[in-house]
A and B are shown apart, each in its own frame.
Chain A
Amino acid sequence: MTSLPQGAGKKLGLVIDLDICVGCHACAVACKSWNSIGAAAPLSDTTPYGPEASGVWLNRVHTYEVEDGQGGFTLHFPRSCLHCDNAPCVTVCPTGASYKRARDGIVLVDEDLCIGCGLCAWACPYGARELDDATGVMKKCTLCADRIDNGDFDEADRVPACVRTCPTSARHFGDLGDPESEVSKLVADRGGAAPMPESGAGPVNRYLPPRARHAGPAPMAVGADAGQPSGFLDWLDRVLSD
């Protein structure tokens, strides 16, 4: 049923620390790897090698050069499903393949019901859904439900693959519906924000903004002293120019 469930209070999601993320893409690779061997059909690569390599990824890391009035900085932004409260991708689904799991709010796709119309990908403001060319069904982040649900796993492994693998611990997983959870406290402490809040989709995941930097010496502009040489080099320059 593609109507949204009445909230059970539990909202599993990710908190991603943009201050720590170094843009190494390990989360994206771990995601691709885990979700290609799990319960669902693999994430296919239509052209895995060569200049036109293309395939499905559920997590993609963008890198931006950002101007903040303090000299600017580089921002790495891992982009994946935010498991929205009012998930527009779920309500547009004509078949009931897309659904939001009532007990913890994870947004999932039943691949046996998906007709591959692509409307859910259009409805998502965050580009979180990609149609798999090989199987013709929609793929998206499952928060690694097959890890979380698996009681045979060690407790440390019952988290999404991206969180388990992040070498800088920039990714956190937990219940954002519980104000006392570790992730909720992190969001409260650091002013965690939702991307494109104007979408009205009510994203559950939060991004912790880069910390304000201490005022320091103005960054040296590259190439500032690359004009006319002085001293010995000036003499050499004049001699060689003659």
Chain B
Amino acid sequence: MNQLVIVPAYNEAEVIRKVLTGLKSQLRKLGEFEIVVVDDGSTDETYQEAKKANVTILRHPINRGLGGALGTGLYYAKQKRAKLVVTFDADGQHDPKDIAKVISPILKREADVVIGSRMMKGAKKIPWDRRVIIWGSNLVTRLLFGVSTTDSQSGFRAFSRKAIQNIRIKTQEMEVSSEIFSEVRRLDLRVAEAPISVIYTPYSRKKGQSNLNAAAVLARLLLRLAR
């Protein structure tokens, strides 16, 4: 199995099983995929719930943040010499039906990194304060890394073998989203975007990146660059 779906999860016991079931039924139509949950030191029943879905689970003994979890997933993919990786949020905000669209540029060898963008269609559905954050993050991404994207913070992405083998994740938390773009720039990877729908539920809003957090993420990102 050389195609992976990485699902980073931290305290998602409430929804993870449903998300995994949804993923599985869609993936069956798309070929053979291995689902890899990275349980980032959850303190609830996330691990037990994911186990019931009969998927590969990489379990962090302590919480390391989104960057740490994605890094682990990508490292696993690299070891397995995967030819395709999809990252998919565990909180149920993504629609598994969009996977076909997100992986298509990779399968056609048109891109190495595909961003599933929440802003390309139905952006109106995204709460306005969140839209401001996304817009600001896109601006920072363009200023710092010279990559234009409509949704730099999206957790729904696809990576080609070249990207998987070469991208190195060093950040631990939400700034990983920006780090991926700095890697895109460093490695001169081809980027494409695919429109995805977003399912904002009270649950996923509560779990997502909080607005105030954005400033802290930016500060850490700048510290990294200034080192």
Binding between chains A and B: no
